Amino acid sequence: MGKEVSKTVKIRFIDCDPLGHLNNVRYLDYMLNAREDHVEEFYGFTYEEYTKKTGCTWVTIQNEIAYLKEVKYNTVVVITSKTIEIQDRTSKVELLMKSEDGKTIYAVFWLSVIYFNVKTRRSEVQPKELVDMFSKYHVDLEQKDFQSRVKFLRSQNAKNS
């Protein structure tokens, strides 16, 4: 297994607008669901069981998404995720929605989360074993800010068109 994990899904008609394009809000649903599956399949736990066991979870503090190419219903896409930043209390994950062959990037989504104790209602330092585990999947991107990343991915799409 590489540092970027993936899941293949089919875009459903019910999630599309009258033109047959995936509704902008539904990109988030597909990508967040894929990330939840990635965590269970590749990291070996669910958020629900982790929260029950530890009293802690990750809470979203920022979302950044760019829609690079339209996705139509019945399209089969690959959704990948990778950890791109790990700090004491926060982490950032990049999710990409790609064509099956990987040549077209439909959307890029940066998800920033904070490690949060549900009982105390305060953020905490992430446990070392978690940081170590997520560090195995850390990818250091050349583009350090979201707009630079979007520009780079758009240029990749143009090259592959």
The mean of the pLDDT values for the chain is: 95
Query: Can you tell me the mean pLDDT for 79-97?
Result: 96
Report domain 5-160's class: alpha beta
Query: In this predicted structure, what is the pLDDT of residue 2?
Result: 66
pLDDT interval class at 20 (50, 70, 90) = very high
Residue 42, pLDDT > 90, answer no
Residue 131, pLDDT > 60, answer yes
Is residue 97 left, alpha or beta, with left meaning phi > 0 and alpha meaning psi from -120 to 50?
beta
Q: Strand (E) positions, 38-75?
A: 56-67
3-state secondary structure of 49: helix
Q: Which residue has the tokens 């995936």?
A: 22
Residue 11, pLDDT > 60, answer yes
* Least-confidence region, from 47-51, 114-118, 145-149: 47-51
Any alpha helices (H) in 39-145, and if so which ranges?
47-54, 128-135
pLDDT interval class at 133 (50, 70, 90) = confident
Q: What are the residue ranges spanned by the domains of the chain? A: 5-160
Cα–Cα distance for residue pair 27/88, rounded to 1 Å:
29
